[in-house]
């Protein structure tokens, strides 16, 4: 192993067995590990009987702590940067350390591992070829709505992280801003209570509103917009075709598919529903 290297190491997002041999080897032989939560990485190290020095590094770490880590690497030590779960630096304080390491001409190497956003997207049932990861939305209601409104006409599949105590409010805001679209709610990836639910935004709000205590960590996958400008508006024939495709691919009733496409295209649901029946 080269001296003076910062290794960015992917760790499990839930199941401790979801880690690579290379990641385990790296955690074992580096001079020290910079971890977001020392208790979480210690659980992983103990599971694989690995003993190493751990330094706490998180979003509240001082500049002195960051410089301390950088200086240790510059002096010739090797460091493995890990987050609480998944790949470091993705919606994670590790990006600050990486930025400073680059400015300091430190060699950085990645040890790939699990990623919650990619794992969730793969089982969402929504388009995967073009997507945008939006991370966690703001705690501030006004800022959260503003963020969502900027994405109204985005054609890409949108991915958000959300905590259990804010899930209801976030889903309500999504319905308010985007109207009825398909949405996939993925909970507790790779853990015992893992689940994935593909529904519409109004169904999601109704489903979670009746749950008293929501638990777990969530990934929200939202269907993108059909068109971005008035010039992109699709024809009535294309809208009917979309209804048929949606009904087949999502296995939902014709009336519900008509409702979803009506919201997306601006055509009346009753007209789309009638045309869909006439042409079936």
Is 262 in the same domain as 186? no
Residues 72 and 151 in one domain: no
**Is residue 56 packed enough to be buried (19+ CB in 10 Å), middle (13-18) or exposed (0-12)?**
middle
Look at 250 and 11; give whichever has higher pLDDT.
11
The pLDDT confidence band at residue 16, using thresholds 50, 70 and 90, is very high
Q: What's the pLDDT band for 60 if we cut at 50, 70, 90?
A: confident
**One domain for residues 110 and 125:** no
Residues making up the chain, counted from first to last: 280
Contact of 189 with 117, CB cutoff 8 Å: no
Q: Which segment of 18-27, 58-67, 173-182 scores lowest on mean pLDDT?
A: 58-67
Whether residues 167 and 254 fall in one domain:
no
Q: Rounded to the nearest 10 degrees, how much is the dihedral formed by the CA atoms of 225, 122, 161, 149?
A: 0
Structure tokens at 12: 């499990």
What span, in angstroms and rounded, lies between the C-alpha atoms of 223 and 200?
Answer: 9
Closest to 105 in 3D by CA, of 69, 73, 66 = 73
pLDDT, position 203: 92
Provide the pLDDT confidence category of residue 161 given band limits of 50, 70 and 90: very high
Q: Read off the pLDDT of residues 167-210 as tens digits, 9 standing for 90 and up.
A: 999 999 999 888 888 999 999 999 999 999 999 999 999 999 99
Q: How many helices (H) and strands (E) does the chain have?
A: 11, 10
Residue-averaged pLDDT of the chain: 90
* pLDDT of res. 232: 63
Q: What is the pLDDT of residue 101?
A: 94
What is the pLDDT at residue 221? Answer: 98
In the structure, what pLDDT confidence band is assigned to residue 231 with cuts at 50, 70 and 90? low
What would the two tokens of residue 187 be? 């909970």
Residues in a beta bridge with 187: 195, 218
pTM of the shown model: 0.78
Domain of residue 206, residue span: 117-222
13 and 91 fall within a common domain: yes
Q: How many CB atoms lie under 10 A from the CB of residue 60?
A: 8
3-state secondary structure of 55: strand
Give bridge partners of residue 218 from the DSSP assignment: 162, 187
Number of domains comprising the chain: 3
What's 64's domain CATH number? 3.40.1010.10
Confidence of residue 112 (pLDDT cuts 50, 70, 90): very high
Angle between helices 269-278 and 236-250 (to 10 degrees): 80
> Residue 3's pLDDT is what?
61
Q: Name the nearest CA neighbour of 33 among 24, 154, 261.
A: 24
- pLDDT for 38 beyond 90: yes
Domain harbouring 192, CATH code: 3.30.950.10
Q: Are residues 79 and 155 in the same domain?
A: no
For the chain, how long is the longest CA-to-CA vector? 75
Please check the confidence at residue 229 and state whether its pLDDT lies above 80: no
- Structure tokens that stand for 216 in this block: 């777990």
Residue 114 has pLDDT above 90, yes or no: yes
Percent of the chain with pLDDT over 70: 96
Q: Is 98 found in the same domain as 45?
A: yes
């Amino acid at each position: 192993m080269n001296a003076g290297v910062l290794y960015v190491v992917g760790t499990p997002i839930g199941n401790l067995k979801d880690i690579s041999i290379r990641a385990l080897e790296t955690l074992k032989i580096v001079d020290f590990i910079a971890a977001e939560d020392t208790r979480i990485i210690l659980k992983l190290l103990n599971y694989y009987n690995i003993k190493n020095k751990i330094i706490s590094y998180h979003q509240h770490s001082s500049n002195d702590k960051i410089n301390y880590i950088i200086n240790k690497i510059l002096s010739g030590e090797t460091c493995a940067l890990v987050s609480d779960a998944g790949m470091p630096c993705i919606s994670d304080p590790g990006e600050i350390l990486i930025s400073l390491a680059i400015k300091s001409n430190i060699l950085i190497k990645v040890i790939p591992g699990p990623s919650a956003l990619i794992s969730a997207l793969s089982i969402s049932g929504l388009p995967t070829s073009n997507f945008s990861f939006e991370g966690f939305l703001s705690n501030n209601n006004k800022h959260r709505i503003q963020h969502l409104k900027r994405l109204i006409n985005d054609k890409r599949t949108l991915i958000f992280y959300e905590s259990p105590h804010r899930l209801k409010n976030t889903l309500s805001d999504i319905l308010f801003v985007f109207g009825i679209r398909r949405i996939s709610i993925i909970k507790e990836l790779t853990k015992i209570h893992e689940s994935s639910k593909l529904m519409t935004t109004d169904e999601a709000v109704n489903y979670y509103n009746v749950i008293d205590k929501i638990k777990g960590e969530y990934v929200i996958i939202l269907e993108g917009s059909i068109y971005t400008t008035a010039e992109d508006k699709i024809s009535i024939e294309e809208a009917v075709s979309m209804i048929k495709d949606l009904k087949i691919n999502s296995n939902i009733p014709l009336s519900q598919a008509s409702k979803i496409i009506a919201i997306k295209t601006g055509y009346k649901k009753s007209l789309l529903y009638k045309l869909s029946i006439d042409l079936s």
